[in-house]
């Protein structure tokens, strides 16, 4: 009896108001759970709990051949399916020392940039929704539909393409490929300013995001943040620049860098990346060679020589690293994925402590988390 | 004046006399009460349902969508179908909820909005109760609703609901001030709290025109504060979907949820009605002194059309705001009220008092 009383007293002296945001919550965008301790509306600390959508992709890969692995990588960050496919394909090609045709390199980069725009559009929709601007969702999806149509035309699939395979592409792109992308760029150049009119310039939006959740460059580096979230803090980590792959070495483009590191500039970095991606697309389309070769000569059964291989690419959310250990068989001995969202997630506690619940939602939205990519 | 040919007072008086001549005074009184109650209930349900439909259509229009168009012609029966769905749903009462309060809360919310509607003059002579303190009465009963919201949040025994209710309490108590003070501007101009007299006083021009800058300012403050008081976006912090899932009504299902939902729309209608009545002349047609032909032409439009037209305009304004703006944060919300709207209002009232004393407004 006396013990029971003591517990009650302790609770009264040290009140903890803990709410579980998730695993089913509209603003975690998936099955992620934040254990949030509150004082009134202010966040005291936050513990992310992940693992609700763990499917054991890395382990599954150990019993699958390399072309089969491609289909699993789609399911990591489902909004960056092309980049994920490309990462594994590049790693396998590196191991086999295969040079893919020029045209394939261009198509891969073009698809990656399209995928980046589509991903940022969906992020914009969701970010607007997180802040309560419900109309954003439909504006973003309206334009994303145009990209998905291009994907459907050329890859046969809208979300999980599995189009990039070791050695090249699954099949050749649609004859309309170039024209439909040019049409899209023309269309989206007109529509993107609408995004700014609706959300960026809004005084409520500016007040809600400016000077919020400031991430210093040191924090970004020490937590391993990559992608637009890190570039908004001034950390130049664009793999397309640092370690160019596919067709990126052939063209010149700008890396979006800001030094403020607050939520607004994380937002701004992504918006500017959409503009920059369109410039990249145009340059790539201009230089893309004609022809119809879509794959290098590959053996029917791909066996990687014994050894360790690593390749990284820039997905829409940051650096995706693929590490393959091969023992000479047709399946990898071990495959490790360094996914961007896993690193980006754990800075949440540092950024949100001391802010309100509404800010928590804004900050987690600005980090652009995709939950299946965290859990693998 | 020409609009008097649409006066509905003879009609209501004849019903009144008919009842009193055929029944004893007690029964006639009861019969009148029942009649008014039934009419208001039907009116309430129809307006509530069609406001939901209007919102869905307006928001679809803002978002490049079509909106409901399957049930009935252009989806006109959609919300009625939704109502039947909600009626047939299970009423879930969670185990550790405070049962009494949990069940009372939706009724408090809906009764508060119901009471407010009763004092609105819909057309000339179409007026259930004409208090000499009409504006004061509407403000008093409409602020009872927050008690229901607080009870709902508290009794649900849900942490999200509690935060929602807490926010809603802080918000409504704050914005009540701005609503009251902005209405006071027109009360000072017209010198009356009675809604029928207030409407009559706008026969030679609406107050938003006659009262020039202070009245325009008060109108915008009223619409802003009114939107906040009805918990609508961008001030929908109490139910902030992306933060608190659904706020204070998270645990409610079926028709109890529908009560909250309906009350929200009726509160919006009430705020729009008050804005239309006080600032835009209520059922009074647009009159410009000196232009007889124009005034006569305006008088041909029945007052009830004027009333609903003006209310619909204010409602559209509120929907437009909701579907365009992102949500405010709780501290920004309170800052907006205490640091901006309230001082603006206080200064406004002093200015109005001066204007009225000096007689600088259009009489």
A363 by DSSP, 3-state: which? helix
What is the mean predicted confidence (pLDDT) over A284-300?
84
Query: Which ipTM was obtained for this model?
Result: 0.80
Nearest to B326 among A19, A27, A202 (CB): A202
Nearest to A207 among B59, B330, B332 (CB): B332
Q: Supply the pLDDT for residue B363.
A: 60
pLDDT of residue A1 exceeding 50, the answer is no
Q: Supply the pLDDT for residue B1.
A: 58
Nearest to B330 among A133, A139, A356 (CB): A356
CA distance A348 to chain B (A): 16
In a domain, B27, yes or no: no
pLDDT of residue A64 exceeding 80, the answer is yes
B21 close contact with A: CB closer than 8 A = no
In a domain, B209, yes or no: yes
Triad A156, A158, A159: Cα angle to 5°? 125
Q: Supply the pLDDT for residue A13.
A: 56
| B228-264 confidence digits (pLDDT tens) | 888 887 888 777 766 777 778 888 888 888 888 888 8
| B306-319 confidence digits (pLDDT tens) | 888 888 998 998 88
Residue B234: asked if its preceding bond is cis (omega within 30°), the reply is yes
Percentage of chain B beyond pLDDT 90 is 0
| B67-89 confidence digits (pLDDT tens) | 888 887 888 888 888 888 888 88
Q: Supply the pLDDT for residue B291.
A: 75
pLDDT band at A2 (very low <50, low <70, confident <90, very high): very low
What is the mean predicted confidence (pLDDT) over B295-302?
76
In a domain, B62, yes or no: no
Q: How far apart are CA A213 and CA B173, in angstroms?
A: 30
Q: Which of A54, A52, A84, A55 is nearest to A70 (CA)?
A: A84
Whether residue A112 contacts residue A86, with contact meaning beta carbons closer than 8 Å, is answered with: yes
Taking CB atoms and an 8 Å limit, are B331 and A356 in contact across chains? yes
State the CB neighbour count (10 A cutoff) for residue B319. 23
Q: What is the mean pLDDT of chain A?
A: 86
In a domain, B288, yes or no: yes
Q: How far apart are CA A132 and CA A75, in angstroms?
A: 29
Q: Annotate B125-169 with three-state secondary structure.
A: CECCCCCCCHHHHHHHHHCCHHHHHHHHHHHCCCHHHHHHHHHHH
Q: What is the mean pLDDT of chain B?
A: 83
B132 close contact with A: CB closer than 8 A = no
Q: Where are the domains of chain A?
A: 2-375
A196 close contact with B: CB closer than 8 A = no
Taking CB atoms and an 8 Å limit, are A132 and B163 in contact across chains? no
Nearest to A25 among B245, B329, B331 (CB): B245
Considering only CB atoms, which chain A residues are within 8 Å of B63?
A: 134-135, 137-139
**Which CATH code for domain A2-375?**
1.10.645.10
Nearest to A41 among B236, B323, B330 (CB): B330
CA distance B245 to chain A (A): 7
| A6-51 confidence digits (pLDDT tens) | 444 444 555 678 888 878 887 777 788 888 888 878 888 888 888 8
A131 close contact with B: CB closer than 8 A = yes
Q: Supply the pLDDT for residue A27.
A: 77
Whether residue B49 contacts residue B264, with contact meaning beta carbons closer than 8 Å, is answered with: no
In a domain, B221, yes or no: yes
Calculate the CA B326 to chain-centre distance.
23
A134 close contact with B: CB closer than 8 A = yes
> How do the residues of chain A divide into helix, strand and coil, expressed in percent and rounded to 5?
50, 15, 35
Q: How far apart are CA B43 and CA B266, in angstroms?
A: 11
Q: How far apart are CA A121 and CA A277, in angstroms?
A: 12
pLDDT of residue A307 exceeding 50, the answer is yes
In a domain, B20, yes or no: no
Whether residue B267 contacts residue B226, with contact meaning beta carbons closer than 8 Å, is answered with: no
**What phi, psi does A88 have (nearest 5°)?**
-70, -40
A191 close contact with B: CB closer than 8 A = no
Helices (H), chain B: 9-22, 25-62, 78-88, 99-118, 134-142, 145-155, 159-190, 195-200, 207-210, 212-229, 241-244, 254-278, 292-299, 303-322, 330-335, 342-358
Give the strands of the sheet with A307-315, arranged side by side.
A307-315, A318-326, A334-338
B55 close contact with A: CB closer than 8 A = no
**Which sign does the torsion angle of CA A196, A198, A199, A202 carry?**
positive
What is the mean predicted confidence (pLDDT) over B133-160?
85
Q: How far apart are CA B175 and CA B142, in angstroms?
A: 12
Nearest CA in chain B to A359: B329
Q: Which residues contact A331 (CB under 8 A, 6 or more apart)?
A: A61, A62, A63, A64, A65, A66
pLDDT of residue A242 exceeding 80, the answer is yes
Residue with tokens 């607004």: A264
In a domain, B330, yes or no: yes
Q: Supply the pLDDT for residue A187.
A: 92
In terms of residue numbers, what domain contains B321? 93-358
pLDDT band at A323 (very low <50, low <70, confident <90, very high): very high
* Count of all residues that appear for chain A in the document: 376
Tokens representing B106 are: 């939706």
Percentage of chain B beyond pLDDT 70 is 97
| Total number of domains in chain B | 1
Give the strands of the sheet with A42-49, arranged side by side.
A17-21, A33-39, A42-49
């Amino acid at each position: 009896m006396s013990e029971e009383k003591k517990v009650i007293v302790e609770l009264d002296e040290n009140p903890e108001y803990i709410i579980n945001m998730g695993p089913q919550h509209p603003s975690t965008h998936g099955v992620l759970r934040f254990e949030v301790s509150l004082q009134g509306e202010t966040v005291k600390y936050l513990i992310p709990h992940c693992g609700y959508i763990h499917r054991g992709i890395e382990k599954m890969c150990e019993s699958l051949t390399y072309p089969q692995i491609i289909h699993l990588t789609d399911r990591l960050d489902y909004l960056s399916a092309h980049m994920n496919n490309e990462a594994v394909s590049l790693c396998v090609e590196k191991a086999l020392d295969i040079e893919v045709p020029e045209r394939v390199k261009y198509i891969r980069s073009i698809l990656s940039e399209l995928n980046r725009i589509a991903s940022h559009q969906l992020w914009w929709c969701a970010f607007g929704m997180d802040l309560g601007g419900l109309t954003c969702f439909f504006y973003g999806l309206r334009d994303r539909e145009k990209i998905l149509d291009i994907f459907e035309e050329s890859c046969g699939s809208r979300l999980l393409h599995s189009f990039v395979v070791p050695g090249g592409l699954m099949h050749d792109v649609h004859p309309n490929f170039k024209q439909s992308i040019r049409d899209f760029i023309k269309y989206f150049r007109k529509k993107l300013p609408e995004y700014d009119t609706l959300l960026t310039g809004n005084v409520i939006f500016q007040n809600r995001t400016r000077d919020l959740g400031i991430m210093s460059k040191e924090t970004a580096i020490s937590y391993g943040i990559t992608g637009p979230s890190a570039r908004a803090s001034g950390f130049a980590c664009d793999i397309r620049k640092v370690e160019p792959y596919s067709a990126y070495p052939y063209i010149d483009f700008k890396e979006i860098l800001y030094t403020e590191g607050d939520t607004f500039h994380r937002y701004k970095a992504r918006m500017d990346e959409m503009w920059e991606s369109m410039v990249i697309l145009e340059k790539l389309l201009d230089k893309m060679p004609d022809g119809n070769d879509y794959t290098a000569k590959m053996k029917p059964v791909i066996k990687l020589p014994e050894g360790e291989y690593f390749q990284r690419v820039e997905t829409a959310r940051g650096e995706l690293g693929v590490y393959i250990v091969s023992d000479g068989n047709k399946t990898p001995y071990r495959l490790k994925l360094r996914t961007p969202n896993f690193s980006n997630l754990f800075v949440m506690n540092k950024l949100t402590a001391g802010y309100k619940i509404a800010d928590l939602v804004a900050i987690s939205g600005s980090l652009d988390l995709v939950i299946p990519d965290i859990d693998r | 004046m020409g609009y008097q040919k649409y006066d509905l007072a003879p009609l209501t008086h004849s019903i009144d006399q008919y009842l009193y001549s055929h029944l004893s005074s007690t029964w006639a009184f009861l019969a009148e009460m029942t009649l008014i109650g039934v009419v208001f209930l039907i009116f309430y349900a129809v307006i509530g349902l069609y406001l939901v439909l209007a919102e869905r259509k307006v928001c679809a229009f803002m978002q490049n969508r079509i909106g409901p168009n399957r049930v009935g012609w252009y989806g006109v029966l959609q919300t009625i179908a939704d109502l039947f769905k909600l009626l047939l749903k299970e009423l879930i009462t969670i185990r550790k909820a405070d049962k009494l309060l949990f069940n009372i809360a939706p009724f408090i919310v809906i009764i508060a909005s119901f009471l407010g509607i009763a004092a609105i003059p819909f057309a000339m002579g179409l007026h259930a109760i004409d208090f000499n303190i009409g504006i004061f009465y509407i403000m008093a009963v409409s602020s009872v609703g927050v008690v229901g919201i607080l009870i709902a949040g508290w009794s649900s025994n849900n942490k999200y609901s509690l935060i929602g209710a807490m926010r809603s309490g802080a918000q409504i108590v704050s914005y009540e001030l701005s609503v009251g003070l902005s209405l006071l501007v027109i009360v000072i101009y017209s010198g009356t709290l009675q809604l029928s007299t207030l409407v009559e006083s706008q026969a030679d021009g609406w107050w938003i025109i006659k009262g020039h800058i202070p009245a325009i300012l008060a109108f915008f403050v009223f619409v802003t504060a009114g939107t906040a008081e009805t918990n609508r976006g961008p001030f929908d912090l109490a139910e902030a979907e992306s933060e608190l899932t659904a706020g204070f009504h998270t645990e409610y299902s079926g028709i109890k949820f529908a009560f909250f939902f309906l009350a929200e729309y009726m509160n919006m209608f009430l705020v729009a009605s008050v804005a239309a009545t006080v600032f835009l002349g209520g059922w009074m047609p647009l009159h410009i002194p000196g232009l007889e032909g124009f005034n006569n032409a305006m008088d041909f439009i029945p007052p009830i059309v004027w009333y609903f037209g003006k209310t619909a305009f204010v409602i559209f304004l509120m929907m437009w705001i909701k579907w365009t703006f992102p949500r405010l944060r709780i501290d920004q919300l309170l800052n907006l009220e205490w640091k901006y709207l309230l001082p603006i209002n206080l200064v406004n009232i002093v200015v109005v008092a001066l204007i009225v004393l000096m007689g600088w407004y259009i009489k």
